[in-house]
Copies of this chain bind each other. A is one copy, B any other.
Amino acid sequence: MMKLGGELPANESSHKPQLTNAGRPSTVGIEAVNEHGETVPTRIPGEHALTLYLDKREIVTLMTLGTAPESLVLGYLRNQRLVSRLEDIAAVQVDWETDAAVVTTRSGSADMESRLERRTVTSGCGQGTMFGDLMESLDEIALPDDARLDAATLAALLDNVRRHDSIYKEAGAVHGCALAAADGEILMYVEDVGRHNAVDAIAGQMWLHDMAGGDKLFYTTGRLTSEMIIKTAQMGIPFIVSRSGLTGMGHAIADKIGLTVIGRATGKHYLLFTGRHRFDGGAGKKNDHE
Q: Which residues of A approach B to under 8 Å, CB–CB?
A: 27-28, 30, 32-40, 42, 44-49, 58, 60-64, 118-128, 131, 151, 171-174, 192-198, 200, 223-227, 244-251, 263-264, 268-273, 276, 281, 283-288
Contacts and interface: CB of A to CB of B under 8 A. Distances in A.
Contact of A125 (B195, B226, B245, B286): B195
A193 B285 contact: no
Contact of A124 (B34, B200, B249): B200
A219 to B, nearest CB: 16
Contacts of A268: 35
Contacts of A276: 33
Given A33-B281, A39-B288, A283-B37, A63 B248 contact: no
B61 A124 contact: no
Contacts of A271: 32-34, 40, 42
A101 to B, nearest CB: 13
Contacts of A273: 30, 32, 42
Contacts of A44: 245-248, 251
Contacts of A246: 44, 173
A192 B248 CA distance: 12
18 contacts: A34-B271, A34-B272, A37-B286, A38-B283, A44-B248, A48-B248, A61-B121, A63-B121, A63-B131, A121-B127, A121-B128, A123-B193, A123-B197, A124-B197, A125-B125, A125-B196, A128-B128, A174-B223
